[in-house]
Amino acid sequence: MRRNQVAVVGAAETTKLGVIPDTSQIQLHADAALNALADAGLKLSDIDGIATAVETPQQLAHYLGITPTWVDGTSVGGCSFMLHVRHAAAAIEAGLCKTVLITHAESGRSMIGKPPRHVPADSLNGQFEQPFGAWGPPSLFPIPVLRYMKTYGITHEQIAMVSVVQREWAAKNPRSTYKDPITVEDVLNSKMIAYPFRILQCCLVTDGGGALILTSADRAKDFPQKPVYILGTGESVETPMVSQMETFNSSRAFKVAGPTAFREAGIAHKDVDHLMIYDAFAHLPLFGLGDLGFMPHEETGKFIADRNTAIGGKLPMNTNGGGLSYMHSGMYGMYALQESVRQMRGIAPAQVPNAKISVCHGVGGMFAASGTIIFTNER
């Protein structure tokens, strides 16, 4: 894909984030969509392409009253929205549509209008993982951690710093769920969920949503907001079963999506001013730093423990507080994208001074899928 041909011209989260028991999941989609339309100064009738996950595009189109000429229902977990951005950028460049609305919303905590997740007993997951006591993401996602720690010599204290540093970022964000400072001791003494991970190393479960509007870069200059250009993109999938990953020392999906995006963008790692790595659980930033090629995996734990990703550090990461402290409705990728867009617009609550390039890396399922978007505010 060619660089900087498509831009984000509208971006917004739901009016409320956190616990929203008075709103159904589809209405959270609509709330985010209407906020993004207002942000972009557009009407619903201006939208000719739509993409969403879990909820189907037809539900979204009907509920909002949109007649699209292009739809994408890619639903690969929390990074689906990174894939939507990639697909939408390609579709706009190909002339299949002009203005794409991408929405995410999830009543993850209140469960209003949200069907329960169900693993069929005759699926491969149902046959070869569920019978052994797998019980939702906290029981599955951390399974690779002990192997990763042993292979690379990563310590419990180093991984605990992921949560500590992100809480510091969250404290600067008025919309964060948790803002009180925490220490390594707090993390390592918090309630055990699935050894080696404790509750402060697991994401929040909240309600909310977000929406993005994309159009061609040539049109973007006529919109009220500062355009944020798509510089590079990547995507991949590996396996729906964490037990069947090629290795626990790395994510194959990360290693395809991330480097693809860097090659497309034509940038080096030293060019990155701001980084988002989807942190459903505290080990994901370590996997991401290694698999995206920022450093060898052996150095990821020390890099975070030495505060390189903290406020004032050389690689500010997860500056909204992340899934661990900001919010996590179940499919967090949209919130990572929103923070990258805010950073590129220069309006983030914890703004990185003069940030020009933002890398936004997502995961779907338990390392099942991955998408990477690289944004810039310079064309």
Partner 1 sequence: MAESARARPLPTPETKHFWEGTQAGELRLQRCDDCLHVYFPPRPFCPSCASRKVSIFNASGKATLYSYVIHHRPAPGFTPPYAIAVVELSEGPRMMTNIIDCPQTPEALELDMKLEVAFEKLDDKVTLPVFRPAKG
21, 110 in Cβ contact below 8 A? yes
The residue among 203 and 230 lying less far from partner 1, judged by its C-beta, is 203
The residue among 120 and 224 lying less far from partner 1, judged by its C-beta, is 120
Cβ at position 193, least distance to partner 1 in Å? 6
Cβ at position 211, least distance to partner 1 in Å? 33
The residue among 123 and 216 lying less far from partner 1, judged by its C-beta, is 123
Residue with tokens 């905590």: 109
How long is the chain?
379
Say if strands 207-216 and 6-13 run parallel, antiparallel, or are unpaired.
antiparallel
The residue among 180 and 195 lying less far from partner 1, judged by its C-beta, is 195
Cβ at position 194, least distance to partner 1 in Å? 4
The residue among 132 and 270 lying less far from partner 1, judged by its C-beta, is 132
Strand order in the sheet with 70-72: 70-72, 49-52, 99-107, 207-216, 6-13, 228-237, 369-376, 357-364, 274-277
8, 347 in Cβ contact below 8 A? no
Residue with tokens 């990953």: 245
The residue among 231 and 242 lying less far from partner 1, judged by its C-beta, is 242
DSSP string, 133-159: T--SHHHHTTTTHHHHHHHHT--HHHH
CA 222 from centroid of its chain's CA atoms? 28
74, 17 in Cβ contact below 8 A? no
Cβ at position 145, least distance to partner 1 in Å? 7
The residue among 139 and 216 lying less far from partner 1, judged by its C-beta, is 139
Contact residues toward partner 1 (CB under 8 A) are 119-122, 124, 126-135, 138-140, 142-147, 150, 191-197, 241-244, 248
Cβ at position 370, least distance to partner 1 in Å? 20
Cβ at position 197, least distance to partner 1 in Å? 7
Cβ at position 268, least distance to partner 1 in Å? 33
Residues 6+ apart with CB under 8 A from 23: 16, 31, 107, 112, 207
Residue with tokens 């200059």: 221
